[in-house]
Amino acid sequence: MVRLSQRWQVEATGLKMSDYMEILYPQSMTAKLLQNGEVIAEYKIEQCDSCEKLKKLDKFGYTKGQGREKLIWLCGDCR
Ligand SMILES: [Zn+2]
């Protein structure tokens, strides 16, 4: 156990600061979040109707019509 924890410490301190990178796939409206070149998250994206940027989708941004159809979607910065 001691040997195992020592090895873990070496690996942990060997890591540099995490490099996050977001790749957007507008065709499928999805995005991947990469940390040090590895995919750590996948999520849907939506185009903001205000700033027209592609942002991570969250359902709170929708403004719905009376027929519950989605009228517009605003990103977190524009709400
Ligand atoms: Zn926006």
> For 17-36, how does the pLDDT look when each residue is reduced to its tens digit (9 = 90+)?
568 899 999 999 999 999 98
Q: Which pLDDT does position 51 carry in this prediction?
A: 96
Asked if the structure places residue 27 within a domain, the reply is yes
Count Cβ atoms within 10 A of the Cβ of residue 12 and give its class: 0-12 exposed, 13-18 middle, 19 or more buried.
exposed
Distance of CA 16 to the CA centre of its chain: 21
Q: Which pLDDT does position 36 carry in this prediction?
A: 87
39-60 pLDDT, tens digit each? 999 999 999 999 999 999 988 8
* Structural domain range at position 64: 17-73
How many angstroms separate the alpha carbon of residue 58 from the centre of ligand 1? 12
| Residue type at 9 in one-letter notation | Q
How many angstroms separate the alpha carbon of residue 16 from the centre of ligand 1? 32
Asked if the structure places residue 3 within a domain, the reply is no
How many angstroms separate the alpha carbon of residue 28 from the centre of ligand 1? 19
pTM assigned to the model: 0.65
Tally the domains of the chain. 1
Q: Say whether pLDDT at 75 is over 90.
A: yes
